[in-house]
Chain A
Amino acid sequence: MKAEQIASLINGKSHLCAGHNAIEFGYAFASDLMSDVLRTDSENLLLITGLCNLQTVRTAEVSDIKCIVIGRGKTSCNEMKQLAHEADVSIIESPFSVFRICSILGSNGIQAIY
């Protein structure tokens, strides 16, 4: 599923890096605990989280995750957006809860990694 379609399904506001709308995301992992995110090993993985700070972006960068979906109506600050741009990480902000985002994306074909 493309990032713009994901954003549309969850009423999200997207901040996409160049070329990222061509990526097909097939899997997602939801966590607010970044050490658990660092244990993932999948390509084209979405990170769904309610954690909205610079370490969310750093963790995505280190884990080769190209797109973060931030739930619970949180919005990324300019510093986060700047870092995400530099790290080639896209951000989608959704007003929905993490559980609701997972439910919607799951019922539309995004799979769990385990």
Chain B
Amino acid sequence: MITETFHIAGGNFSNAGEASSRVKKILKQLGVDQCSIKRTVVAMYEAEVNIVAHAWEGNMKVEIDSEKIRITGTDKGPGIADIEKAMQAGFSTASQQVREMGFGAGMGLPNIKNNTDFLDIKSTPGIGTTLIMINYFAGHDKPKHT
């Protein structure tokens, strides 16, 4: 089991994506299949950008074993008032600054959902959000209950 935790600073777009880049390198070194790497890194990058764009600060904990990767993103921030609405493509509360960086068009959470085998989002408005993503590598069946 490999475990790494990355601190993500809210508002700091210069470093957004560093954690995802690091995880991509780790998965490549482990010889994980290309499809799983891409799906995982796309989902993680969107989640990382979400923390940078919306939260004050956060952490991403990455746990990798022989069959899967589990990423837990926890942030302190405004939270998500209506998760169901936030999951709809095109819904966004992003600032102009975020849009100028090429994000904030309401595709982040849908992209995360499309690129994960398991996704759970819990949020408390005014406190923050916790997001758990799990992807199973090629050749490993997804369990019915995770």
Chain A contacts to B: CB under 8 angstroms: 32-36, 38-39, 41, 51, 53-56, 58-59, 61-64, 79, 87
9 nearest CB pairs, A to B: A58-B17, A35-B107, A34-B102, A62-B45, A51-B102, A38-B42, A62-B41, A55-B101, A33-B105
Residue B14 at the chain A interface, CB threshold 8 Å: yes
Total A-B Cβ pairs within 8 A: 66
Chain B contacts to A: CB under 8 angstroms: 13-14, 16-17, 20-21, 24, 38, 41-42, 45-46, 49, 101-103, 105, 107-108, 111, 114
Contact B45 A38 (CB under 8 A): yes
Name the prevailing secondary structure of the A interface residues: helix
Q: How far is the CB of A56 from chain B (nearest CB, A)?
A: 7
Show 15 A/B contacts (Cβ-Cβ < 8 Å), sorted by A: A33-B105, A34-B102, A38-B42, A51-B102, A53-B13, A53-B102, A54-B16, A55-B17, A58-B45, A59-B102, A61-B21, A62-B21, A62-B24, A62-B45, A87-B21
